[in-house]
């Protein structure tokens, strides 16, 4: 389940520090890792909201883990490229 869907549609929450959806995000990833699946956690995840959850996932996981950070300017560039590939699914960003 996509995090945005879980947050906004199922739980009807905003993405705030301490919100249930943030904790549930970590629990879902942990459950899948415990079942020995590969997990890719990606998205625009605010460090204040998700930092502790992501750090705990890495600390608890006994296998290899890799973290990467993309600056916000790179995120904007990626979304701009997506718009050209999938115009019907575009994300419009207003400056």
Please count the structural domains in the chain.
Answer: 1
Least confident of 34-43, 62-71, 85-94: 85-94
Contact, 67 vs 54, CB < 8 A?
yes
What torsion do the CA atoms of 65, 31, 41, 50 make, to the nearest 10 degrees? Answer: -100
| pLDDT level of residue 2 (50, 70, 90 thresholds) | low
Quote the pTM value.
0.64
pLDDT digits 0-9 by tens, 6-65:
777 788 887 777 888 888 888 988 898 889 888 888 777 888 888 898 899 888 888 888
pLDDT, residue 91, reads 45
pLDDT, residue 46, reads 81
Task: Give the structural domain span for 55.
Answer: 3-67
Tokens 């904007």 — which residue? 76
57, part of any domain: yes
19, part of any domain: yes
Contact, 57 vs 33, CB < 8 A?
yes
């Amino acid at each position: 389940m996509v995090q945005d869907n879980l947050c906004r549609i199922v739980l009807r929450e905003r993405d705030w520090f301490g919100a249930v959806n943030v904790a549930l995000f970590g629990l879902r990833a942990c459950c899948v890792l415990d079942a020995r699946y590969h997990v890719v956690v990606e998205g625009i995840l605010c460090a204040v909201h998700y930092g502790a959850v992501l750090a705990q996932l890495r600390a608890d996981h006994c296998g290899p883990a890799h973290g990467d950070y993309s600056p916000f300017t790179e995120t904007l560039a990626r979304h701009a490229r997506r718009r050209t590939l999938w115009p019907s699914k575009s994300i419009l960003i207003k400056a």
